[in-house]
Amino acid sequence: MSDAPEIICDIRGSAGFVVLNRPKALNALNLPMVRELAKALDAWEHDPAVTRIVVTGAGEKAFCAGGDIRSLHDLGKAGQHDEMLTFWREEYILNARIQSYPKPYIALVDGIVMGGGVGLSLHGSHRVAGERWLFAMPEVGIGFFPDVGATYALPRLPDHAGTYLALTGDRVGQADALALALATQAVPSARMAELAEALTGSEPVDATIAGFAVDPGPGKLAPERATIAHCFGAATLPDILGRLDAKAAAGDAFAAKTLATIRAKSPTSVAIAFEQMRRGASLGFAEAMQLEFRIVSRIPHGHDFYEGVRAVVIDKDQAPSWRPRTLEELDPADVAAYFAPLGAAELALGG
């Protein structure tokens, strides 16, 4: 066991500086890390010496690959549902804290950023993408759902790209991140450490980052944006599938691959994710987080999350047995139940 702290929060020059420090675990997020970052943000908000927050991930592979899903799975299997919800409750409160933080919050992302890592970066004022940026919300592939504020953020991406990302779990790189406004600036990986150091100075944040920013050119999704906009702009999930099917039948290889990808995911998760995107477009951030907490409060009592983690993380056979097996077999009432109010157990955000 390493004695190194899992998260380092200190003051460097003008910056409250955060290092997610579990590189061997791809900086996966756990409850102690959530609590330490929340405590630091509270302290730095009222410290006049701290004019900006800078968040980085240790190592060269990941900013943060997500929450510690295996440990959450194990808690659920042991019937420790309250412990699972303690993590998600505090994580979601932290996501909302970041989104409304009064000082510049700069995430320097040069590697994998998925799930819980998205919650620590996407809602900040500045998201700087290095060449190694690899973004995904892959939750529908493990019987979960795109949380940590995705309900708010993804429906606001251009050309219905957020719905595409939510339903497929597709991974996108630096150029697409900038084009879709997942990132606010692109910077060469070789200059990320130099930028981090520069941000500890007193020069304005925007001017500092601008001195490092580059144009990464078009991303892999650029040729598919019109297809994504047409198919994922449909009003219902069956209509999305129908449009993809029609495109595929006409010889569109991207549409055919996308349709097959969605069909392989948890049908329950896909239906939940679509409903999140539909509702999220008109919700404020706090409302979106409360909606996600309603959903996540029901996840431990279902089947697909445990089966998805088993297939992808534990046994790694990549052969989950979903219940129900297809979208057509889903009972709409079962999906709607995930969104029902929680009464006294609703997520309480500050105010």
Could you list the active site residues?
Answer: 67, 116, 139, 147
Residue 257, burial from CB neighbour count under 10 angstroms (0-12, 13-18, 19+): middle
**CA distance linking residue 270 with residue 219, whole number of Å:** 25
**CA distance linking residue 234 with residue 287, whole number of Å:** 24
Q: What number of other Cβ atoms are within 10 A of residue 229's Cβ?
A: 15
Let me know: does 119 contact 64? Beta carbons within 8 Å.
Answer: no
Q: State how far the alpha carbon of 210 is from the alpha carbons of 96, 185, 194, 198, 315, in Å.
A: 27, 8, 13, 11, 45
Give 255-261's long-range contacts (Cβ < 8 A, gap of 24+). 255/227, 255/231, 258/164, 258/168, 258/231, 261/168, 261/169, 261/170
Residue 136: both structure tokens together: 């995904």
What lies within 8 Å, CB to CB, of 339 at 6+ separation is 275, 279, 291, 294, 295
Beta bridge partners of 113: 64, 135
**CA distance linking residue 116 with residue 137, whole number of Å:** 9
Give the three-state DSSP class for 45. helix
Q: Is the dihedral of CA 275, 294, 297, 153 positive or negative?
A: positive
Q: State how far the alpha carbon of 78 is from the alpha carbons of 10, 81, 82, 111, in Å.
A: 36, 8, 11, 33
Amino acid at 73: H
Residue 318, burial from CB neighbour count under 10 angstroms (0-12, 13-18, 19+): exposed
What lies within 8 Å, CB to CB, of 246 at 6+ separation is none
Q: What number of other Cβ atoms are within 10 A of residue 12's Cβ?
A: 14
